[in-house]
Amino acid sequence: MAIYYDVHPQDPQQRILAKVAERLADDALIAYPTDSGYALGCRLDSTTGADRIRAIRQLDKSHHYTLVCADLAQAGRYVKLDNPMFRAIKAVTPGPYTFIVPATREVPRRMAHPKKYTVGIRLPDQRVTHALLEAYGDPILSSTLILPGQETPLTEGWVVQDEIGNRVDVVLDGGEVGLEPTTVIDWTGTGPVVARVGAGDPELFE
C-alpha cells in the first residue's frame, strides 16, 4: 500500500516534501496534486515509471507524457523552444496549459512520442506542486490521473489512496484541487495549434 502524506495546501510541510522528493529519486511512482486534478509522476529517467503509468491508465505507446516543471529554466534542458515559443509560454505560465513541443535528446526515447519525438510541458499554478518541484530539483514525468472509463481526473488525495493506493508508492494529499483540465497547445509545427480547450484561455493561441 502507498505511503500516504497529508500536507497543508498553502503551506506544505517541507520535511514531508523532502521525503517525497527522496522517494522520487529512488524511482518511486507517486500521485500528487496539480491545478488540474491529481497526477501520476516519476523521475524522468525511471525505467519502470512510464510503464506503470500506462498500466494504471491503460494508455498506448503514443501517449504524450508531460514534464511538470517549476519554471522554463528547469524545462530548458529537455525541450526545444525558439524565441516566439519561449515568450508566449512565459506570458501565460504558471497556469492551466500543456504545451506539446519538440524534445531534446535529454528526454529518454521511451518517454517521448515514438514517431514525432515530442513531449508535453506543464508549469502549474499550484502551491504544493511548486513546493514539491523545488524540493526535488528536476521536472517530474507526469500524466493526469484519469482512470479507465472516467473522463475527469481524481481531485482529492484520500480518493486517490482508496482507488489506486495499492498501485503507487506514494500519495501526496494536498487537499481538493481543480477539476477542469488544461488547455493543450500543440507547438510541434510552424505555429501553435489548440489541441484541446480547457481552463486556459485558448484565444491567446488562435
- Collapsing DSSP to helix, strand or coil, 159 comes out as helix
CATH number at residue 186: 3.90.870.10
- What is the spatial distance between Cα 198 and Cα 96, in angstroms, rounded to a whole number? 8
Q: List, in order, residues 6 or more apart from 49 with CB less than 8 Å away.
A: 27, 29, 41, 42, 43, 141
Question: Does pLDDT of 114 surpass 70?
Answer: no
Which pLDDT band holds residue 84 (cuts at 50, 70, 90)?
very high
What distance, in Å, lies between the first and last C-alpha atoms of the chain? 45
At residue 60, the pLDDT reads 83
Is residue 33 within 8 Å of residue 171, measured between CB atoms?
no
Which residues span the domain enclosing 47? 3-205
| Amino acid in the structure at residue 83 | N
Query: Cell digits for 163?
Result: 482507488
Q: How many domains is the chain built from?
A: 1
Cα–Cα distance, 123 to 162 (Å, whole number) = 27
Query: For 33-74, what is each residue's pLDDT tens digit?
Result: 999 999 999 999 898 999 999 999 999 877 778 999 999 999
Residue 86 has pLDDT above 80, yes or no: yes
User: Which tops the pLDDT comparison, 179 or 110?
Assistant: 179
Residue 113's pLDDT is what?
Answer: 63
pLDDT in tens, 149-192: 998 999 999 999 999 999 999 999 999 999 898 999 999 988 99
Identify the band that residue 107 occupies on the pLDDT scale cut at 50, 70 and 90. confident
Residue-level pLDDT at 115: 67
Residue 108: the pLDDT is 74
